[in-house]
Amino acid sequence: MTFLKGGARKRRDKIEAEIIAHLRARGAQTWQLSGRSIPDLLVWHHGHPIVLEIKSGKAPLSAVQAHDQNPWPIVRSVAEALVEVFSHAGK
């Protein structure tokens, strides 16, 4: 499911589809988000919502992200996404 708001139809990071596939294969639900200053992905796993900002490779961070003002985790790989999501399981 994709929520199309604000930045509807924006370019998605290359790794995003792979991250979504791995999360869904492990039982998580995912929703792609679009819009200025909102995260890329909402993940629901075992009753816990987790939001992720996804960056491909060496994609630059925005000014807010670069200054640790970003309220959600930034992930650049499937492994980082899995750690973020599944480290919250059971909390």
**For the chain, which domains are there?**
16-86 (3.40.1350.10)
Note the pLDDT of residue 23.
96
Residues of the chain with pLDDT below 70 are: 1-11, 60, 62-70, 88-91
Give the CA-trace dihedral at 17, 20, 24, 29, to 10 degrees.
-130
Kindly report the pTM of this predicted structure.
Answer: 0.77
Which residues neighbour 63 within 8 Å (Cβ) at sequence distance 6 or greater? Answer: none
Q: What gap in Å lies between CA 30 and CA 1, rounded to an integer?
A: 7
Note the pLDDT of residue 63.
67
Query: What is the residue whose two structure tokens read 């995003």?
Result: 16
